Structure 1
Amino acid sequence: MKEPGVSTPATTSRAVQFESFGGPEALSIREVPVPQAGSGQIRVRVTAAGLNPMDWIMTSDAETAARFGLSLPCGFGTDYAGAVDQVGTGVTKFAVGDRVFGGALSRAVADYVVVDVVQTSAVRGEAYRTPEGVDDRTAATLAIAGRTAAAALAVVKPGPGDTVLIGGAGGGVGVIAVQLARLAGARVIGTGSATSADALSTLGAEPVTYGAGLIDRVRALAPSGITAAMDLHGTDTAQVARELGVPDERITTIAAQIDGITPANGASAAPSAVEEIAGHVAAGRLRVPIAASYPVEQIRAAVELQAGRHVHGKVVINL
């Protein structure tokens, strides 16, 4: 018989899953067994999960999912933040109660996530301590976008005296890349919609509207030319940079490949990149705009908004 006042640990929890690959309409909230931390692992009670384009791209169909090692039933989302609530044997870096954030490939939008802190990888997951002064919603936006932005900067190496053109500057990666380039001392011109101009200016970029005529608008803003470019949306910005005389080695892309131009891959970012970005946030040198936050029950609406690629900043799920 259960003693009065003694709670029984939950045996099931919520997780957003696909039972068939597809768009937001295929997402459902399921009751699943509460995962247990094994040797070298921690279990995190997730409070927030940040969305990224890769989340819905890699689960859009079975062939794409297979390239990422995903099979059905499949979870959703990669960026998470929360607190450690179980520690497996052999773990000394973290303790129950520690606030953490990081990535867990296609399983972050759930009440609990288990990550391996001894042998970290995209599949096994990763965890970092959340600095004081950084809330969980912000921490949940940093892993994927921060690593990708850092990788892009590592390719073009902006610094004082540079004028950098950043395409897709208002997106999740763009808002971080703009600020990192500014912290490096560069002047930044950022492409976006007309409605994003004020938001980009607030981040330190000089806004320019994307689309037809972009090269003329960039010339008007920078008559002396640009010296580097990061295309964080497609290929248009990279092509404009080439036409303006920027050498290929100082141009990078993240969503497309162009012969002669080195793409930026978040997996190749410096190991310290995410923690350094979190440190900038904690110190007030960098901020991540939260475009919208949704309860997990509205996961489909949140993904539809994020997949539209017109939000200024990040979309976050609250759990």
Structure 2
Amino acid sequence: MGTTTMRAVRVHAFGGPEQLVHEEVPRPVAGPGEVLVRVHAAGVNPVDWYGQRNFAALPEPLRPEWPLPYTPGSDVSGTIVETGAGVTGWRAGDEVFGLVRFPGRASAYAEYVVSPAGNLARKPAALGHTEAAAVPMAGLTAYQYVFEHVKVGEGDTVLVNGAAGGVGHFAVQLARAAGAGRVVAVASGRHEAFLLGLGADGFVDYTRTAAEEAVRGVDVLIDAVGGPDGHRLLPVMRPGGRIGAVFPGEYHAERAAAQGVSAGVWQVRPNGGQLAELARLADSGALRVAVEEVFPLAGAARAHARAERGHLQGKIVLDVAPAH
């Protein structure tokens, strides 16, 4: 394999994880305002396995059209090897991580990826590339929900539903960083010690107790589960409460409004400045990163099969290439 090609994973036909093919493809070149990154690790996100199935899990109006073949992935951690025209602030050899081109097609399941310079931040010194690649999409989602959308305030009681997953475990920690007075995590029992160790004040094992029966007086609900049963959590909310649905959910708008509760769902966006803040928190020890399992790039099909089974503690990551 020469300098004009690389190994990557591509989807040639929609379907199950077996449609992910590890093969040789042309190596990209950085254009104006872009950098070429040698990928050391790539994070695996729900959008990646949704795309593999042509986004059948999403409501039809929200389904993007991705012509075949394509390379999945938008979360990367690696080293810059080339800068395009007009790029300042980055140079070859810089270690970076980022959410690349989302919601477009970034093609991060590959040995090299081209990224807009502004989508990246310096990799936290405290994290290896595997952990850093687990941060961008989930970390930025949690950050934007906590600080921009539902705006966790000083002393708020925050409930995080689906707290052990990628977004959830970051949301628990960022709610604490935002000054929440109490953070309650909802997950299955095996995650209790993990979430209490991240700073949760309370824990509800949903396999034993329904959160709506155990919790009251919630100012902010960050719901990383959503779905048609999201409305069952309305009783936990206090008047004026805010619900941030990471996945679309049914919250019975009229009933919620009668309770003085607002609900919204927002799409994450790349933001190098916010990634830099997440890096600062990681370097200070205020943000820990959980990785459930690591697969080689050639094992992307196995990674997707594991991801689709759910019940993760943190993220799944592809090990693309060791750092040099």
Q: Taking structure 1 as the reference length, what is the TM-score of the superposition?
A: 0.86
Q: 1:211 to 1:195 in 2, by over 3 A?
A: closer
Distance 1:245 1:61 in 2: 36
SS state at 1:58 partner: helix
What is the match of residue 219 of structure 2?
Answer: 227
**8 Å Cα contact 2:134-2:315 kept in structure 1:** yes
What is the match of residue 203 of structure 2?
Answer: 207
Distance 1:92 1:180 in 2: 30
**8 Å Cα contact 2:229-2:249 kept in structure 1:** no
> Would you say 1:165 and 2:172 are equivalent positions?
no
Specify which of 59, 65, 68 is matched with residue 64 of structure 2.
68
> Would you say 1:13 and 2:6 are equivalent positions?
yes
What is the match of residue 77 of structure 2?
Answer: 81
Specify which of 50, 55, 70 is matched with residue 48 of structure 2.
55
Residue 277 of structure 1 deviates from its aligned partner by 1.1
**8 Å Cα contact 1:55-1:106 kept in structure 2:** no
Distance 1:69 1:237 in 2: 28
Distance 1:236 1:288 in 2: 29
What is the match of residue 151 of structure 1?
Answer: 144
> Would you say 1:263 and 2:270 are equivalent positions?
no
**8 Å Cα contact 1:142-1:278 kept in structure 2:** no
Residue 273 of structure 1 deviates from its aligned partner by 2.3
SS state at 1:261 partner: strand
Distance 1:62 1:202 in 2: 35
Distance 2:64 2:53 in 1: 12
**8 Å Cα contact 2:154-2:178 kept in structure 1:** yes
CA offsets, 1:248-272, max 9 Å, x none? 65111011144351113213x8763
CA offsets, 1:47-75, max 9 Å, x none? 00011111111331277799435211110
Distance 1:263 1:159 in 2: 19
Distance 2:121 2:237 in 1: 40
> Would you say 1:191 and 2:186 are equivalent positions?
yes
Q: 1:69 to 1:276 in 2, by over 3 A?
A: farther
> Would you say 1:92 and 2:88 are equivalent positions?
yes
Moved more, 249-258 or 58-67: 58-67
Moved more, 71-80 or 57-66: 57-66
Report how many aligned residue pairs link the two structures.
300
CA offsets, 1:108-142, max 9 Å, x none? 1100001122xx5xxxxx22221323321121122
Distance 1:36 1:216 in 2: 52
Segments of structure 2 that go 5 or more residues without pairing to the other structure are 254-261
Segments of structure 1 that go 5 or more residues without pairing to the other structure are 1-7, 121-125
- Root-mean-square deviation (CA), in Å? 2.5
Residue 286 of structure 1 deviates from its aligned partner by 0.6
What is the match of residue 33 of structure 2?
Answer: 40
Letter in 2 for 1:190: A
**8 Å Cα contact 1:155-1:249 kept in structure 2:** no
**8 Å Cα contact 1:166-1:237 kept in structure 2:** no
CA offsets, 1:223-266, max 9 Å, x none? xx322211111248853442134346511101114435111321
SS state at 2:163 partner: coil
Moved more, 186-195 or 232-241: 232-241
Distance 1:209 1:234 in 2: 17
Letter in 1 for 2:293: A
**8 Å Cα contact 1:146-1:273 kept in structure 2:** no
Q: 1:271 to 1:99 in 2, by over 3 A?
A: closer
Distance 1:235 1:143 in 2: 24
Q: 1:303 to 1:199 in 2, by over 3 A?
A: same
Distance 1:271 1:247 in 2: 35
Identity of aligned residues (%): 35
